[in-house]
């Protein structure tokens, strides 16, 4: 056992007790014959005092910033210490002495650009800000799972090596599968639908791959997709579910991550349900009123979404009922107006963080939609044949985890929000 406590667990009540701590040398100062070490672990920092007459004193001289050590020491409650408590070292055992100087400063404010930070990522992840981002990420995922479990969803896993495109063909990564062409999944779409056709309510948190050519603050070539699929439900039902998921996450992060939000100097706004809904057609009207030339079927890009976000005035809103031909083949059209679909995007300001729809559960219509998109229904037989055997009406959505984290952390770039981003030019670390 290397440690008896995390540094955050060392409280004044432990005064006089011996503890074993393990972590990294955050800073060292030499003051009047005593050395003061700030020892860091994932939970925070604690001051370790090493006096000249202690056995630990000699081992301190070789310690560099970011070296890993075990400290055995006695807890002393002391109002002058940064956390009201400090540890007087009995012995310090180094595990790994870090090279000096460091390629990236871990303590203090980092002025490095994002390229350097991603290159020196493991040091960057040790910074208090990035540790906060990772802690918040974990709480967001925990909340997502808990809300879904409470609504009788089960967590599933779908194949990531697949035979055909689901979201439109251009962005697939091919792989060679025993001499045959296959692809990395862009989405669990078809498999989550089939699972909902068996067990009604499923979710998956898993990577998805898109060969994204463009380098934007919102695109990764590998991203974590939070997918939900629900039988006997339509797009209104899953939008309501999405509202519950997001507002519960906000409550959880506010309750459990106060320290992390403070480290990031980020405040979460109060969000109320339901989120505003703007139909695609209304959005066109608003944008035309603001001088945009935009016709039915055009995408709503970032400049347009910025205007809409301003108009709505709340961080989250839904853009609903997109033109049918702009959505994937599995999307259901509105019965009374087939040019439009039962679909939505959840927007955080100008960023699309989730998209979903009611799905089509009629085989004939699915085949027609595939043909209309220039795709061969025969290649989708592995999916379509199950629509002959009692597919329920169903709906669902996919949410981009890194984009969602922009809201929870106040960061501006998805590459900062996840530990090891993949993009066109980045395959390591």
Sites of contact with ligand AMO (CB under 6 A): 167, 187, 189, 210, 212, 219-220, 223, 225, 227, 352-357, 396-400, 402-403, 414
**Is-contact 51 86, C-beta < 8 A?**
no
Cα separation, 342 vs 417, in Å, equals 31
Cα separation, 259 vs 409, in Å, equals 12
Judged by CB, which is closer to ligand AMO: 47, or 355?
355
Judged by CB, which is closer to ligand AMO: 66, or 345?
345
3-state helix, strand, coil in the chain (%, to 5): 35, 30, 35
What do you get for the CA distance between the two ends of the chain, in Å?
30
> Which DSSP string do the residues of 289-358 spell out, in sequence order?
HTT----TT----HHHHHHHHHHH-SSEEEEE--BGGGS-TTBPEETTEEEEESEEEEEETTEEEEEEEE
Cα separation, 52 vs 326, in Å, equals 73
Judged by CB, which is closer to ligand AMO: 23, or 356?
356
Residue nearest ligand AMO, Cβ-based:
400
Q: Which residues contact 356 (CB under 8 A, 6 or more apart)?
A: 228, 235, 238, 239, 242, 343, 344, 346, 395, 396, 397, 398
Backbone angles phi, psi at 206, to 5 degrees: -160, 160
Judged by CB, which is closer to ligand AMO: 133, or 220?
220
Judged by CB, which is closer to ligand AMO: 94, or 323?
323
CA 355 vs CA 69, 218, 346: distances in Å: 47, 15, 6
To ligand AMO, the closest distance from the beta carbon of 184 in angstroms equals: 12
Judged by CB, which is closer to ligand AMO: 73, or 398?
398
To ligand AMO, the closest distance from the beta carbon of 326 in angstroms equals: 11
To ligand AMO, the closest distance from the beta carbon of 390 in angstroms equals: 21
Q: Which residues of 256-286 are buried (b: 16+ CB within 10 A; e: fewer)?
A: ebeebbebbebebeebeeebeebebeebbeb
- Tell how strand 222-231 and strand 316-320 pair up: unpaired
To ligand AMO, the closest distance from the beta carbon of 189 in angstroms equals: 4
Judged by CB, which is closer to ligand AMO: 12, or 323?
323
To ligand AMO, the closest distance from the beta carbon of 51 in angstroms equals: 52
Which residues is 359 bridged to in the sheet? 331
Cα separation, 225 vs 320, in Å, equals 20
Q: Is the dihedral of CA 266, 268, 269, 275 positive or negative?
A: positive
Cα separation, 369 vs 387, in Å, equals 15
Give the residue among 382, 359, 327, 387 at the shortest CA–CA distance from 229: 359
Judged by CB, which is closer to ligand AMO: 329, or 397?
397
Judged by CB, which is closer to ligand AMO: 167, or 263?
167
To ligand AMO, the closest distance from the beta carbon of 119 in angstroms equals: 21
Q: Which residues of 230-239 are buried (b: 16+ CB within 10 A; e: fewer)?
A: bbebbbeebb
Judged by CB, which is closer to ligand AMO: 241, or 402?
402
Give the residue among 159, 185, 155 at the shortest CA–CA distance from 172: 185
Residue 164 has what DSSP assignment? S
To ligand AMO, the closest distance from the beta carbon of 283 in angstroms equals: 16
């Amino acid at each position: 056992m290397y440690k008896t406590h995390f540094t955050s667990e060392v409280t004044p009540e432990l005064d006089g007790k011996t503890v074993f701590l393990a972590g990294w040398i955050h800073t060292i100062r030499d003051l009047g014959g005593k050395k003061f070490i700030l020892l860091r672990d994932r939970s925070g920092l604690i001051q370790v005092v090493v006096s000249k007459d202690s056995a630990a004193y000699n081992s301190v001289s070789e310690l560099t910033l970011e070296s890993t050590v075990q400290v055995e020491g006695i807890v002393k409650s002391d109002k002058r210490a940064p956390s009201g408590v400090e540890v007087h070292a009995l012995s310090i055992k180094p595990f790994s002495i870090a090279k000096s100087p460091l390629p990236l400063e871990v303590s203090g404010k980092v002025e490095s650009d994002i390229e350097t930070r991603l290159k020196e990522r493991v040091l960057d992840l040790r910074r208090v800000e990035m540790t906060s981002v990772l802690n918040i990420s974990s709480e967001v995922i925990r909340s997502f799972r808990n809300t879904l479990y409470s609504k009788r969803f089960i967590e599933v896993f779908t194949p990531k090596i697949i035979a055909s495109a689901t979201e439109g063909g251009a962005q697939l990564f091919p792989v060679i599968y025993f001499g045959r062409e296959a692809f990395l999944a862009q989405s669990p779409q078809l498999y989550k639908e089939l699972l909902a056709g068996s067990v009604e309510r499923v979710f998956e948190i898993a990577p998805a791959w898109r060969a994204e050519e463009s380098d934007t603050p919102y695109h990764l070539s590998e991203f974590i997709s939070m997918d939900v699929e629900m039988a006997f439900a339509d797009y209104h039902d899953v939008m309501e579910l999405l509202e519950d998921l997001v507002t519960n996450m906000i409550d959880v992060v506010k309750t459990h991550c106060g320290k992390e939000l403070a480290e990031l100097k980020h405040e979460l706004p109060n969000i109320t349900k339901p989120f505003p809904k703007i139909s695609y057609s209304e959005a066109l009207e608003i944008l035309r009123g603001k001088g945009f030339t935009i016709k039915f079927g055009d995408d709503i890009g970032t400049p347009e979404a910025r205007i809409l976000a301003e108009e709505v005035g709340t961080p989250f809103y839904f853009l609903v009922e997109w033109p049918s031909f702009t959505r994937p083949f599995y999307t259901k059209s509105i019965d009374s107006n087939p040019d439009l679909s039962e679909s939505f995007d959840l927007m955080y300001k100008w960023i699309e963080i989730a998209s979903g729809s009611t799905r089509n559960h009629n085989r004939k219509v699915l085949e027609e939609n595939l043909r209309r998109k220039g795709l061969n229904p025969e290649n989708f037989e592995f999916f379509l044949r199950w629509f002959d055997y009692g597919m329920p009406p169903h709906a669902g959505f996919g949410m981009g985890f890194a984009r969602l984290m922009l809201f929870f952390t106040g960061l501006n770039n998805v590459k900062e929000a996840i530990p090891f981003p993949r993009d066109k030019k980045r395959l390591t670390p």
